[in-house]
C-alpha cells in the first residue's frame, strides 16, 4: 500500500504488542528486541529493492487505489534522496534497537517502548517518502507523537517529565505553524501536492502572503531542526531520553526537520531562493555559535553532546542553504556521518551511564582504566566529530566549507571554520577527562559494558574509520541524492 | 458573502492568541489549550479557503485535511494531558514555573 519498506515498518509496529504479550516474563524479554531488530532488517532489505527500482526509473510514484489521482489524492513520491534518508533511519534504528536489548532490560513497559521506537522510524520514513504536503504532515505527526512519549518514557523521574512537556509544547506549536503555512499554500494554489505546488508557485512573483508562508515554514520546521532561537527543547529532551533514543533523536530525527525544510524550500519557493538562502545561512551561523558556546560550559555528558548536535545542525543547514550541488552533497554526506558519529557517541555515553550510573563528567574522570573498549570507541567518535583527517567527519565538513567558498559565501565559511576549532576545545576537554585523568571513586567501581552493548558501538566506530579511509562510494551516494533533490523536472514530470 | 479577509484576520488573531497563551500562561493545562487554539487557527483557514476557491462550491480537500488534523490535535492533547498528570502527581502543582530545574 505504502511501498514495501513502509508497510513492513507499520505492520511490525502494530504487531509489537502481540509479541510483547507473548514475551511477558522477564526471561523472555529479549524476544522483543530481537523481533524489532528483525523487523528493521527486513525493512532494510526491502529498501534495497526499492533503491534498485529508483535507480532504474529515477522516481517511483505510489498512488492510492481510490479514484482520486494526484494532484487531488494523497500520494508517495520516492526519489534517490528519500531512499538515502530512509536508509539512514533504518540503520540507525537497527543499532538503537540492538543496543536497547541490554540497556533497557531493567525498565518496565518495554512493549510500549519498542512499539514507539518502530512507530517513530515509520514516521520518519514516511516523511521522507511523502509526495504531498498532507502525507508529510500525517507522518510528521506520527514521528512527533511517538517521540514525545519516548522522551517522557522514564516517567518516574522529574527530568523526563519536564523535558517531555517542554518538548511537547514547543514541537506541537511548530506543527501547528506548519499546518498554518500549509493552509496558506492551499489557499494560494488549491492543492497541497508538491509537484503541483512547484509548478504553480516556482515562478510566481513574491508577494506578502508568500513571504508570510515562507516565514512560517522556516519557523515550523526550524523548531524540529533545532535552528538557534528555537533550539531550547533539544538539550533537555536529548539528555532526558533513554540513551538509544537520544542517539535516534540526535542522529536522525533532527535531520528529518532539515530534510523537510530543504525539500519544500527548493520545490515551492524557487522564486525567492536568494532570500531564503541568506536567511538560512544567517540562522546557520547563529546555530553553530549557539551550540558551541553553550557546550563549552557543560559538565553533563549527554547535555554536552546535545549542544554539539545543535552546532552540527548549523553546519548542515549552512550546506543546505547554498542549494548548489556541492553544498547539498556535503550536507547530505554530513547528515550521514553525523548519524553515525552522534549515534556512536550517545551509545557510548549510554554505556558509561549504564555502568557507572552517572552522567557527570567530573565523576566519569579516568574511566578508561575500567572501561577501556567503550572509552576507545568514544575517542574514535570524538576524533571523527572534531574533523581530524583520517576519519569521516573531516571529509563532510571540508566539503561544506569548500562548497561555501565556491558559492561565494566566504565569510560564512570562515565562521564555520572558527566553529570547528571551537568544538575542538570542549571535545578535547572531554577526551582528557575520560582518557588521561586519574580515576575517581565512581569510575573505579565501573566495569566494562556487556557484549550486547559493545557490538553496536564497535560497528559504528568501524564505520567511522571505513568511511574516513574510503569515502568515495558514500560521497557518490550523497551526490546522487543531492542531484535528485535539485532535479525538479523529473520530480514534477513524473507526477503531472 | 462576507469578504475572505475578515476570516483570515480572525484566523491570524486566533494564532496570535495561541502564541500569547503559550508565552505568558503558567498553568500547564492552559498551555495545552494554547496548542489547541493554534491548531484551530490553521483549521479555520483551511475551511475558509475551501469555501472560497470557487463561488458556490466547496472544495472537499480542505475538509478532508481538517478532519484528519483534528484527530492529530486530539492525540497531541491526550499525550500532553498524560504528561501533565504525571507532573501533577510528582510536584503537586500545575504551575510551570515550579518545573524549572532544567536550564538552557
Mapped to the 3 state alphabet, what secondary structure does chain B carry? CCCHHHHHHHHHHHHHHHHHHHHHCCEHHHHHHHHHHHHHHHHHHHHHHHHHCCCCCCCHHHHHHHHHHHHHHHHHHHHHHHHHHHHHHHHCCCEHHHHCCCCC
Q: Looking at the complex, report in whole angstroms how far the Cα of residue B78 sits from the nearest Cα belonging to chain A.
A: 10
pLDDT value for A157: 84
Cα dihedral sign for B86, B90, B95, B98? Answer: negative
Contact A197, A189 (CB under 8 A): yes
Q: Grid coordinates representing A425?
A: 576545545
Per-residue pLDDT of A401-420, as tens digits, reads: 999 998 888 888 999 989 98
The mean pLDDT of B70-82, rounded to a whole number, is: 93
Closest Cβ–Cβ partner in A145, A158, A235 for B90: A158
Contact B42 A180 (CB under 8 A): yes
Closest Cβ–Cβ partner in A138, A152, A183 for B49: A183
**Tally of CB atoms within 10 A around B3:** 9
On the CB side of A321, CA atoms within 13 Å amount to 27
Measured distance between the N- and C-terminal CA atoms of chain B, rounded to whole angstroms? 50
Substitution target from B13, B65, B99 for chain A, most A beta carbons within 10 A:
B65
Contact B46, B65 (CB under 8 A): yes
Contact B83 A152 (CB under 8 A): yes
Query: Given a cut of 90, is residue B30 above it in pLDDT?
Result: yes
pLDDT value for A173: 93
pLDDT value for A71: 65
pLDDT value for A340: 92
Q: What share of chain B has pLDDT > 70, as a percent?
A: 94
In chain A, the residue whose alpha carbon lies closest to the alpha carbon of B84 is A165
pLDDT value for B102: 55
Q: Where are the domains of chain A?
A: 4-493
Q: Where are the domains of chain B?
A: 27-95
In chain B, the residue whose alpha carbon lies closest to the alpha carbon of A168 is B80
Contact B61 A162 (CB under 8 A): no
* Residue A153, φ and ψ in degrees, nearest 5: -65, -45
Contact A52, A105 (CB under 8 A): no
Low-confidence ranges of chain A (pLDDT < 70): 26, 64-71
Whether ipTM exceeds 0.85: yes
Q: Looking at the complex, report in whole angstroms how far the Cα of residue A2 sits from the nearest Cα belonging to chain B.
A: 18
C-alpha–C-alpha distance, residues A464 and A449, integer Å: 20
Residues β-bridged to residue A193: A132
Q: Looking at the complex, report in whole angstroms how far the Cα of residue B57 sits from the nearest Cα belonging to chain A.
A: 13
Cα dihedral sign for A327, A330, A333, A337? Answer: negative
Mapped to the 3 state alphabet, what secondary structure does chain A carry? CCCHHHHHHHHHHHHHHHHHHHCCCHHHCHHHHHHHHHHHHHHHHHHHHHHHHHHHHCCEEEECCCCCCCCCCCEEEECHHHHHHHHHHHHHHHHHHHHHHHHCCCCCCHHHHHHHHHHHHHHHHHHHHECEHHHHHHHHHHHHHHHHHHHCCCCCCHHHHHHHHHHHHHHHHHHHHHHHHHHHHHHHHCCCEHHHHHHHHCCCCCCHHHHHHHHHHHHHHHHHCCCHHHCCHHHHHHHHCCHHHHHHHHHHHHHHHHHHHHHHHHHHCHHHHHHHHHHHHHHHHHHHHHHHHHHHCCCEHHHHHHHHHHHHHHHHHHHHHHCCHHHHHHHHHHHHHHHHHHHHHHHHHHHHHHHHCCCECCCCCCHHHCCHHHHHHHHHHHHHHCCCCCCHHHHHHHHHHHHHHHCCCHHHHHHHHHHHHHHHHHHHHHHHHHHCCCCCHHHHHCCCCCHHHHHHHHHHHHHHHHHHHCCHHHHHHHHHHHHHHHCHHHHHHCCC
pLDDT value for B104: 44
pLDDT value for A55: 87
In chain B, the residue whose alpha carbon lies closest to the alpha carbon of A293 is B104
Q: Looking at the complex, report in whole angstroms how far the Cα of residue A228 sits from the nearest Cα belonging to chain B.
A: 12
Question: Does the predicted model carry a pTM greater than 0.90?
Answer: yes
Residues β-bridged to residue A300: A360
Amino acid at each position: 500500500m505504502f511501498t514495501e519498506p513502509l508497510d513492513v515498518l507499520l505492520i511490525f509496529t502494530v504487531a509489537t504488542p502481540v509479541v510483547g504479550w507473548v514475551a511477558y516474563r522477564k526471561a523472555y524479554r529479549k524476544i522483543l528486541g530481537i523481533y524489532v531488530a528483525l523487523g528493521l532488517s527486513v525493512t532494510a532489505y526491502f529498501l534495497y529493492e526499492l533503491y534498485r527500482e529508483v535507480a532504474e526509473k529515477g522516481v517511483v510514484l505510489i498512488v492510492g487505489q481510490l479514484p482520486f489521482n494526484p494532484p487531488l489524492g494523497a500520494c508517495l513520491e520516492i526519489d534517490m534522496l528519500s531512499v538515502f534518508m530512509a536508509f539512514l533511519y533504518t540503520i540507525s534504528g537497527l543499532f538503537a534497537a540492538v543496543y536497547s536489548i541490554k540497556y533497557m532490560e531493567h525498565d518496565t513497559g518495554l512493549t510500549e517502548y519498542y512499539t514507539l521506537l518502530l512507530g517513530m522510524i515509520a514516521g520518519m520514513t514516511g516523511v521522507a517518502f511523502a509526495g504531498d504536503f498532507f502525507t508529510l504532515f500525517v507522518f510528521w505527526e506520527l514521528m512527533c507523537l511517538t517521540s514525545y512519549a519516548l522522551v517522557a518514557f522514564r516517567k518516574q523521574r522529574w527530568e523526563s517529565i519536564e523535558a517531555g512537556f517542554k518538548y511537547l509544547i514547543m514541537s506541537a506549536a511548530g506543527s501547528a505553524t506548519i499546518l498554518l503555512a500549509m493552509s496558506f499554500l492551499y489557499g494560494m494554489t488549491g492543492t497541497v501536492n508538491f509537484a503541483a505546488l512547484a509548478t504553480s508557485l516556482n515562478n510566481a512573483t513574491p508577494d506578502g502572503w508568500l513571504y508570510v508562508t515562507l516565514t512560517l515554514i522556516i519557523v515550523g520546521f526550524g523548531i524540529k531542526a533545532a535552528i538557534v532561537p528555537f533550539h531550547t527543547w533539544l538539550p533537555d529532551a536529548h539528555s532526558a531520553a533513554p540513551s538509544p533514543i537520544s542517539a535516534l533523536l540526535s542522529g536522525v530525527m533532527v535531520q528529518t526537520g532539515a530534510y523537510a525544510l530543504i525539500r519544500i524550500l527548493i520545490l515551492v519557493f524557487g522564486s525567492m531562493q536568494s532570500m531564503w538562502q541568506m536567511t538560512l545561512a544567517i540562522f546557520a551561523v547563529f546555530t553553530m555559535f549557539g551550540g558551541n558556546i553553550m557546550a563549552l560550559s557543560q559538565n553533563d555528558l549527554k547535555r554536552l553532546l546535545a549542544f554539539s548536535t545543535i552546532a552540527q545542525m548549523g553546519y548542515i543547514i549552512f550546506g543546505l542553504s547554498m542549494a548548489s550541488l556541492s553544498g547539498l552533497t556535503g550536507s547530505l554526506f554530513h547528515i550521514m556521518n553525523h548519524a553515525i558519529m552522534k549515534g556512536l557517541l550517545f551509545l557510548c555515553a549510554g554505556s558509561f551511564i549504564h555502568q557507572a550510573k552517572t552522567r557527570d563528567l567530573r565523576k566519569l574522570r579516568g574511566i578508561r582504566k575500567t572501561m577501556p573498549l567503550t572509552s576507545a570507541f568514544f575517542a574514535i567518535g570524538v576524533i571523527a566529530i572534531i574533523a581530524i583527517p583520517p576519519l569521516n567527519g573531516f571529509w563532510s565538513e571540508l566539503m561544506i566549507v569548500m562548497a561555501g567558498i565556491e558559492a561565494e559565501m566566504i565569510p560564512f565559511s570562515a565562521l564555520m571554520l572558527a566553529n570547528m576549532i571551537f568544538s575542538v576545545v570542549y571535545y578535547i576537554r572531554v577526551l582528557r577527562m575520560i582518557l588521561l585523568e586519574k580515576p575517581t571513586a565512581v569510575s573505579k567501581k565501573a566495569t566494562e559494558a556487556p557484549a550486547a552493548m559493545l557490538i553496536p558501538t564497535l560497528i559504528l566506530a568501524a564505520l567511522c574509520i571505513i568511511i574516513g579511509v574510503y569515502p568515495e562510494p558514500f560521497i557518490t551516494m550523497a551526490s546522487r541524492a543531492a542531484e535528485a533533490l535539485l532535479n525538479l523536472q523529473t520530480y514534477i514530470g513524473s507526477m503531472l | 458573502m462576507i469578504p475572505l479577509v475578515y476570516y483570515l484576520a480572525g484566523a491570524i488573531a486566533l494564532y496570535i492568541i495561541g502564541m500569547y497563551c503559550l508565552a505568558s500562561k503558567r498553568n500547564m493545562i492552559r498551555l495545552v489549550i494554547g496548542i489547541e487554539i493554534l491548531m484551530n487557527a490553521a483549521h479555520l483557514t483551511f475551511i475558509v479557503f475551501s469555501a472560497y476557491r470557487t463561488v458556490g462550491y466547496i472544495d472537499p480537500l480542505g475538509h478532508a485535511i481538517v478532519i484528519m488534523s483534528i484527530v492529530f490535535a486530539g492525540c497531541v492533547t491526550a499525550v500532553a494531558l498524560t504528561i501533565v498528570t504525571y507532573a501533577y502527581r510528582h510536584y503537586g502543582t500545575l504551575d510551570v514555573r515550579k518545573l524549572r530545574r532544567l536550564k538552557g
